[in-house]
């Protein structure tokens, strides 16, 4: 691994390399031959350039790189969007793209951090998508939905949406488990509806006949 950073000294680059190499196999830099760090002093943003993409962190150069070197996994998905320059004055405007984020993800769009980055003659908007937005982006294309449930088998057998797919012992006992359904592209809404049918039925048995079934997290997506 080799670190390229014009804003850092050779001693700093050597120390960062040493620390990164001591990290676990899950460290984001482990598979990289070259890591190029671009630092914007005015914006206080460090952009990390890799063979297959970018990532950025805010703060002083030392603080940003320290956080990056110490990381064992990514908390955000970084996606670059190329912006078209105005032919009259060369300016770029990220506002339409930010509005698009708001249209797609609603209030969750406020969690998306962005940075305007000039790279090899192009203007990129780097966007850090949190896990909540990533799930919303990827869930329609397939994955696994899980709902955690807990309760006595006496009550769990009274929930049709659970009892149809899961076998519970005849003996009364406390059970804590997960209802999981894997699906392909196009199946998200149907599977999600099934999980929320469980929620509806749990509410009904509590209201009509009592019962001590608890749920949560509900319909959590995973790849």
pTM over 0.85: no
Share of the chain above pLDDT 70, in %: 99
Measuring CA to CA, how many Å separate 5 from each of 31, 52, 158? 18, 18, 63
| Predicted pLDDT of residue 126 | 98
- Between 209 and 49, residue with greater pLDDT: 49
Residue 209 has pLDDT above 70, yes or no: no
How far apart are alpha carbons 177 and 161 in whole angstroms?
Answer: 15
Length of the chain: 223
Low-confidence winner among 17-21, 189-193, 211-215 (lowest mean pLDDT): 211-215
Tell me the average pLDDT across 171-195: 93
Tell me the average pLDDT across 96-108: 92
Residue 113 has pLDDT above 90, yes or no: yes
Share of the chain above pLDDT 90, in %: 65
pLDDT confidence band for 85 (50 / 70 / 90):
confident
- Count other Cβ atoms within 10 Å, centred on residue 30: 12
- Between 48 and 164, residue with greater pLDDT: 48
- Count other Cβ atoms within 10 Å, centred on residue 6: 8
Give the DSSP letter of residue 164: T
| Predicted pLDDT of residue 210 | 64
Tell me the average pLDDT across 1-13: 95
Cβ distance 112 to 101 under 8 Å? yes
- Between 87 and 211, residue with greater pLDDT: 87
Mean pLDDT of the chain: 91
- Between 105 and 211, residue with greater pLDDT: 105
How far apart are alpha carbons 169 and 127 in whole angstroms?
Answer: 49
What are 122-134's pLDDT values in tens digits? 999 999 999 889 8
């Amino acid at each position: 691994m080799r670190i390229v950073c014009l804003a850092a000294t050779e001693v700093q680059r050597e120390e960062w390399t040493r620390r990164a190499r001591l990290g676990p196999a899950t460290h984001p830099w482990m598979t990289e031959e070259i890591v190029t760090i671009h630092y914007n002093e005015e914006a206080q943003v460090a952009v990390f350039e890799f063979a297959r993409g970018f990532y950025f962190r805010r703060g002083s150069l030392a603080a940003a790189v320290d956080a990056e070197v110490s990381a064992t996994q990514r908390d955000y998905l970084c996606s670059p969007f190329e912006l078209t320059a105005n032919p009259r004055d060369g300016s770029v405007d990220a506002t339409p793209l930010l509005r698009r984020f708001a249209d797609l993800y609603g209030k969750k769009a406020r969690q998306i951090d962005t940075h305007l980055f000039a790279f090899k003659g192009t203007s990129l908007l780097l966007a850090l998508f949190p896990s909540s937005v990533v799930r919303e982006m990827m869930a329609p294309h397939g994955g696994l939905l899980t709902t955690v449930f807990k309760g006595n088998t006496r009550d769990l057998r009274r929930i049709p949406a659970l009892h149809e797919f899961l076998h519970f012992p005849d003996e009364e006992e406390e059970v804590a488990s997960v209802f999981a359904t894997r699906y392909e592209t196009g199946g998200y809404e149907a599977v999600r509806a099934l999980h929320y049918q469980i929620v509806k039925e749990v509410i009904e048995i509590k209201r009509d006949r009592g019962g001590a079934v608890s749920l949560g997290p509900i319909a959590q997506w995973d790849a």
